[in-house]
Amino acid sequence: MSLTRMILIWVALTCAVAVPVLAAAASPYLAWRDPIYILAGFAGIVGMGLLLVQPLLAGGYLPGLSTARSRYLHRCVGAALVAAVVIHVLGLWITSPPDVVDALLFVSPTPFSAWGVIAMWAMFAAALLALLRRRLRVRFRPWRLGHATLALVTVVGSVVHVMLIEGTMEIMSKTALCILVLLASAKTLADMRVWAIQPGRGS
């Protein structure tokens, strides 16, 4: 791969992640929000950007990174994603505890809340499965199947959650980011043949 193409890929990824954040920073809704609420909201936006990076790292599509380096960064970005979601939820809890409780109990009148909670628990489960793989002595193929399934639930739930919210995120950049997240996840899962019915090495 040429140096020019490598640079273009990294610039495109940076723009895909940064533009929604910058567009949200210019939202007029921020004028009436508390600082903690704003922090919580931007943690969620950053989390969506990380959801785009994760499948690209898992599939080894980012140029200039070895397979080992991609896997290491995949784990690091996963930890950052968990932290972003925790900040997102804690910030919302501090500003409006009843709304968070209703969301966690799936009794919130806003449909996007349920999708966000589903995505959150799926993400926590995927992260926990990654941390406990060696301790649980799970074979590689069943582990990858479970991890990928939980990741897919996280992606779909997060995309629906974000698209249903009418808030600080600008609609065009938000839609573009969500489409990219879905496409990157679909390509990675297809290329890795996660659900193919055939034994793989290490299974």
- Residue ranges of domains in the chain, CATH in brackets: 14-192 (1.20.120)
State the Cα–Cα distance between residues 156 and 161, nearest whole angstrom. 8
pTM for this predicted structure: 0.91
Give the pLDDT confidence score for residue 196 in this predicted structure: 65
C-alpha closest to that of 88 among 126, 50, 55: 50
Low-confidence ranges of the chain (pLDDT < 70): 195-203
C-alpha closest to that of 17 among 92, 84, 68: 84
